[in-house]
Amino acid sequence: MAYLNRNPSDVVLPVRIGLIGSGWMGAFHADSIARRVPGAVLAAIADPNVESAQALAQALGTAKVTANAEDILADSEIDAVVIASPARFHSSLIAQAANAGKHVFCEKPAGQGLDELDAALAAVEEAGVHFQIGFNRRYADDFLAAKKDLAAGIAGTPQLLRSLTRDPGTGSIPNAARVPAWTIFLETLIHDFDTLNWFNEGAEPVEVYAVADALVEPSLRDQGFLDTAVVTIRYSNGAVAVAEANFSALYGYDIRGEVFGSKGMVQAGRATETAARRYTAEGLSADTPRLNVELFRQAYTDELVDFAGAVRARRDGMPPLSSDFNVTPGGADARRALAMALACIESVKRGAPVAVNESAAV
């Protein structure tokens, strides 16, 4: 976030970014880099599905397309990579990119186990490259405003925290049988864990107790696909947090966060697309977003603006701009949230509270 206010006219050479993984989220990041990130160029796209990657590249005016990420990592003209491949490849790609001297932006989770993530982050540290994890809520205007209030002490000492994610749905989940087990913790609630950690900065998550079930798609319970979860988290400063998720909110995409403290309360997020309301004979109504890229479109862009600015600062020897509070999520944030997700998985298996960092892998 420290880099968002840099003047684009200061750019001498654009930051050349290679995309690894051109699926749904990768394609959105590609569009952001090519069209909405000042001083950045989408230099290459790598995906085993070359036909899809070529279609995306043609639409965005990107010349280089390859089936192999190694081709991007070996390109000396590319400054950085955005990793949007399936999660099982994230840690290895982070390490490979760092070893190749590329700065790294990686979608969450940064790994599926703490050992593999620790090895990747060690490679990042040794190479001295910039690393950023895709916790986009930190860049949403309302979450930023809440964090600013919390940093100023508006709510006092945090006592109770809450975060929720409810994905839009129709009462069933398309292709649910192909969704990896534990997705609700590793790829959904992991956002909530980072938000809670960020809001309660300075404290460490100590213990989690997770309850999860297949309530939207009960027929998939025996396959390990869970679509509804509630997690209670104890922090080292005594605060208690609750995170919840569900994969089928009929009314739309719903993301919210809250901190109640010794002096008051701070909230962020809403289920409506705008603050506008309609009052008619049919009752009260409001529009709601149906996709995460609708609700967090600017946040998804700003996290990449921040990333590109950080890369440019390191590459060109520019001093980073200071900020009033920590925004950019790095390796420690990625690890902390993953440790919580893994502890939740173990908690569901045991039916009991689990200490954070007690579980090292899925």
- Reported as a single tens digit per residue, the pLDDT across 206-249 is 999 999 999 999 988 888 889 999 999 999 999 999 999 999 99
Q: Could you tell me which of 241, 165, 244 has the C-alpha nearest to residue 205?
A: 241
Q: What is the pLDDT of residues 317-340, one digit of tens each?
A: 887 665 567 899 999 999 999 999
pLDDT band at 265 (very low <50, low <70, confident <90, very high): very high
d(CA 79, CA 97): 10
Mean pLDDT, to the nearest integer, of 243-263?
Answer: 95
- Residue 266, pLDDT > 50, answer yes
- Residue 134, pLDDT > 60, answer yes
Do 104 and 118 meet the contact criterion of CB atoms below 8 Å apart?
Answer: no
- Residue 139, pLDDT > 80, answer yes
Place of tokens 């309302």: 142
Q: Could you tell me which of 169, 151, 150 has the C-alpha nearest to residue 161?
A: 150
| Long-range CB contacts for residues 90-94, cutoff 8 Å, separation at least 24 | 90/120, 91/116, 91/117, 91/119, 91/120, 92/116, 92/120, 93/20, 93/69, 94/120, 94/121, 94/123, 94/124, 94/131
- At 252, list the tokens: 């739309």
In one-letter notation, the amino acid at residue 238 is G
d(CA 362, CA 354): 14
